[in-house]
Structure 1
Amino acid sequence: MIHRHLGKVMAGAAVAVTATAIMIGVTLPGSASGEESPGGGPQGSAAEQGQAARQLPGVVESAPEQQKTGTGRDPLTDDEIKRAQTLAVSRDFRMSSEDVKGSQGPERLSTDLAELGPDEVGAADAPRRAEVTYYDYRDDTYVTKTVDLRGGKVTGTDTQRGVQPPPNRDEAREAARLLIADKLGKGLEKDFKDATGKTLTSPDQLTVTGFVYRAGEGNPGPASVQDCGEHRCVRLFTRVTNGPWIDTRQLVIDLSAHKVAELS
């Protein structure tokens, strides 16, 4: 295991994490404990991977005609996912919301088959609905839209505050961008330079996985992260692409406020 401590490379026994990011040559665990939850990429079929191309302000795409559909509790088909995502974002919702980069329209997180009600279970012709979830950075709300796939309309909207599901891939990349641009990212830049001989300028040079960070009872944290929970905050597992891990877990990126803080 190779550790960086105060600018010097040291081998042997582990040393404490410092303000400088620590380069480690072992695979970090795939899960975190406490108030963290794993993320870094959308879940679902291939059609959900990545964010759809942003539309021009005020332009709402017509819902595609229903084509391939599943039966019963079959997973959503790619056509159903696309239809649900298009139906879920009305013009008003798009105009009044923001994604992680501050662009118009909410940040889409997931699209899943909705659960049936107690009186619908076992029905021969049970309804087929999708739930599309978003994070609206304009007012820090978690929004769930329920879409009737047969009827082609939104049948329910649930808006909650303080709910923080795992970040998607775009959110993890934006967190890395903010970290690279911040003075607290200098340790990451130095370790990247030592590992590759190149200058770190873009998240494209890293492989990152985001984990939600929440401050609160049982995890007070420093004053600089007290908004985390109401704000959308993440910690990153950061790796040089095809190279070593660089430990940035002592740093918290507040995506709502566009700032970086350090855990003491």
Structure 2
Amino acid sequence: MRKIVHRHLGKVVAGTAIAVAGTAVMVGITLPGTAGADDSGGTRGGQTAQQAAQGNGTPAPGVVEQAPAEGEKGKGLDPLTDDETKRVEQIALNRQLLNSGENVKGARGPQRLTVELTEPDTDQPDNTNAPRRADVTFYDYRNDTVVTKTVNLDTGKVEETSTQHDVQPPLSIAEQTEAARLLIADPLGAGLKADYKDATGKELTSPDQLTLTSMVFHATPGVQPAELGKCGEHRCTRLFPKVKNGAWIDTRDFVIDLSARKVVKLG
């Protein structure tokens, strides 16, 4: 029987080769898979714009790059190629969204979550000549909204835009990393750091030292601290960190509100 070692506020799950399924039993939930593919966060303004803004304290206006050439293209229901993914993201991120949006770090431009091939029309699901479309989804931390844009890869135009409130898709890699950064920097992260040092003999100073999975946290009235009452409207998460090639560390007692940039202890 595997054991959880209760050393500090965080708890190291003993054993360096614990499967996700086994860990899920120990922590009492099913661990989510890593969601999203964004490592870089939202887009920032170009260098020229930044230089122009220096000296007056005013943030540089966002610069929308011209969509790249079509490059390698898929056909029918083929997965999006890297060229297509880059192209549709830049088409979706227009100047207005770039200048008004905010990413998980508070920088200009919304946080990219996913770029996925759009489901084909139900009346012609097998039509290989149908236009290829992609759904590009962003999270705008300025007003806690999910923005999804459908881009036609053949025409290079946005055909549809939807904006949703109180909707929380799985976190991107960049968001998980920022949540871990906030926890490590917060006094409530002392147990996590102590457990990491117990497990490795080294100081925990960066999310890069951990393998991260996460689960979106929604508030339940009267159940958790009032500080978490906006979770669901705000982007909140619980992290499941793991020493790289090592043990899981139990941080279930902590919720990171990415919208408010604060860590709260449950119970």
| TM-score above 0.5, yes or no | yes
Alignment equivalent of 2:154, drawn from 134, 140, 150: 150
2:113 counterpart residue number: 109
Structure 2 residue aligned with 1:261, among 252, 260, 264?
264
Aligned residue among 52, 55, 59 for 2:63: 59
SS at the partner of 1:159?
strand
- Measured against aligned partners, the alpha-carbon deviations of 1:26-59 in whole angstroms (never above 9, x if no partner) come to 43645699998825342xxxxx552378342421
CA contact (8 A) 2:44 2:107 kept: no
Q: Residue 25 of structure 1 corresponds to which residue in structure 2?
A: 14
Q: Could you tell me how far apart the structure 2 residues matched to 1:61 and 1:114 are? A: 24
1:222 aligned to which of 196, 220, 225: 225
- Equivalent residue letter for 1:21: G
1:62, distance to aligned residue in structure 2 (A): 0.5
Which letter maps to 2:226? A
CA contact (8 A) 2:216 2:235 kept: yes
CA contact (8 A) 1:113 1:129 kept: yes
Is the deviation greater in 170-179 or in 48-57? 48-57
Residue 187 (1) aligns with residue 194 (2): no
Partner of 2:264, secondary structure, is: strand
Select the residue among 34, 40, 48 that pairs with 1:40: 34
- Quickly say closer, same or farther: Cα 1:252–1:187, change in 2 above 3 A: same
Residue ranges of structure 1 left out of the alignment (5+ in a row): 8-19, 43-47
Residue 48 of structure 2 is matched in structure 1 by none
Q: Evaluate the alpha carbon distance shift between residue 124 and residue 108 of structure 1 in structure 2; reply closer, same or farther with a 3 A threshold.
A: closer
- 1:248 aligns to what? 251
- Distance in 1, matches of 2:124 and 2:251, equals 47
Deviation at residue 235 of structure 1 after TM alignment: 0.7
Give TM-score, length-normalised by structure 1.
0.84
Question: Is the contact made by 1:41 and 1:170 (CA closer than 8 Å) also made in structure 2?
Answer: no
Gaps of 5+ in 2: 46-60
| Residue matched to 1:45 | none
Distance 1:116 1:220 in 2: 42
Compared with structure 1, are the counterparts of its residues 212 and 39 closer, same or farther at alpha carbon in structure 2 (3 Å cutoff)? farther
C-alpha displacement of 1:216? 2.9
Q: Which has the higher helix share?
A: 2
Greater mean deviation of Cα atoms: 93-102 or 190-199: 190-199
Q: CA RMSD in A?
A: 2.6
d(CA) in 2 for partners of 1:79 and 1:160? Answer: 28
Q: Give the TM-score, by structure 2 length.
A: 0.83
